[in-house]
Each structure stands twice: as C-alpha cells, then as structure tokens.
C-alpha cells in the first residue's frame, strides 16, 4: 500500500509541475500588467516547490519502493531521466532570475519592464523546459519495461 501511495504522490507532483509550467507559459505575455507579473512570481515559486516534491517522492520510490536502488543505479535510462530533470532545473533558473528581479519594481506598484529580447528568451526557455519534461515519462515507461539495464 505504501508503494502505491508513494507512486501516486510522485505522479501527482509531476502533473502539478507540468501544470504550473504550462500556466507560467500562458501568463508570460508582453506587455505585462501588474497582476500577471505578481502571479508569475507566485507560480514560479510554486513550480520550484513542486519540482522539490517530484524529487522527494522520486527519491522515496528509488530508495524504499518500486524496484530498489540497485535497479536504478544500473539503468542508463534512469540516469538519462535524472539528467533531463537536472537540465530542466538549470534552465528554470533563467525565468526565475527574471521574475525575482521584479520584486522591487512590484513593491513600488510599477509594472516590470521586459525587453522583447528578454521576453523571447524567457518564453523559449519555458518551451524548452516543457519539451524536455515530455521526454521524461517516455524514459520512465521504457525503464519500467526493463530497457536501459546495464551490467
């Protein structure tokens, strides 16, 4: 029963992560208004927290449930999944950095000014994150069927 609950929480946190990133993508439109800028900061914080939840529930499954630590350590697809997750985390630093730089402007009740170049860079980064996140479940499905096992 605990393994099923751990799996459920892991899947739920993945859905939440993807939903928040999709929402961030939908809300990031230039020119910004005050309310959308504030919402983007809150959503980005929630996105970071949900990424931590994905990692925590995934770690619980690796260490205590599912197929056991040895299986995952010797599976190249698991390493690819983890690598993609880390890459998405690194990429998410750019939008987070941009959004967090708005704090003082927003406190003053002003709309943050985002150049067209910076806006395009943020939106393309979010799109790349979404694309990479779509690959991770494919790797998980293959891994669950025994692909990627080495040695």
Domains: count for the chain = 1
Number of other CB atoms surrounding residue 24 within 10 Å: 23
For residue 47, is pLDDT > 90?
A: yes
* Residue 117: Cβ-neighbour burial (10 angstroms; 0-12, 13-18, 19+): exposed
Q: Is residue 149 part of a domain?
A: no
Q: How many CB atoms lie within 10 A of CB 114?
A: 19
132 in a structural domain: yes
Q: What is the pLDDT of residues 99-122, one digit of tens each?
A: 999 999 999 999 999 999 999 999
Structure tokens at 18: 């993807």
The answer to whether residue 99 sits within a structural domain is: yes
Q: Looking at the domain assignment, is residue 151 inside a domain? A: no
Residue 88 lies inside a defined structural domain of this protein: yes
The boundaries of the domain holding residue 98 are 2-144
Residue 20 in domain? yes
Average pLDDT over residues 85-102: 96
Q: Which residue has the higher pLDDT, 146 or 53?
A: 53
Mean pLDDT of 20-25: 98
What is the model's pTM? 0.92
Is the pLDDT assigned to residue 131 strictly greater than 90? yes
Residue-level pLDDT at 151? 67
Considering the domain boundaries, does residue 137 fall inside one? yes
Whether 150 maps to a domain, the answer reads no
pLDDT score recorded for residue 68:
82
């Amino acid at each position: 029963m605990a393994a099923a609950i751990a799996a459920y929480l892991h899947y739920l946190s993945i859905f939440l992560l993807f939903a928040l990133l999709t929402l961030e993508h939908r809300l990031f439109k230039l020119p910004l208004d005050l309310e959308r800028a504030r919402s983007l900061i809150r959503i980005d914080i929630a996105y970071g927290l949900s990424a931590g939840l994905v990692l925590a529930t995934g770690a619980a499954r690796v260490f205590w449930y599912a197929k056991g630590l040895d299986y995952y350590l010797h599976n190249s697809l698991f390493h690819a999944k983890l690598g993609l997750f880390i890459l998405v985390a690194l990429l998410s630093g750019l939008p987070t950095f941009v959004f967090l730089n708005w704090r003082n402007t927003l406190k003053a009740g002003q709309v943050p000014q985002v150049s067209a170049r910076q806006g395009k860079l943020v939106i393309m980064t979010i799109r790349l994150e979404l694309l990479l996140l779509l690959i991770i479940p494919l790797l998980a499905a293959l891994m669950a069927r025994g692909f990627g096992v080495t040695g």
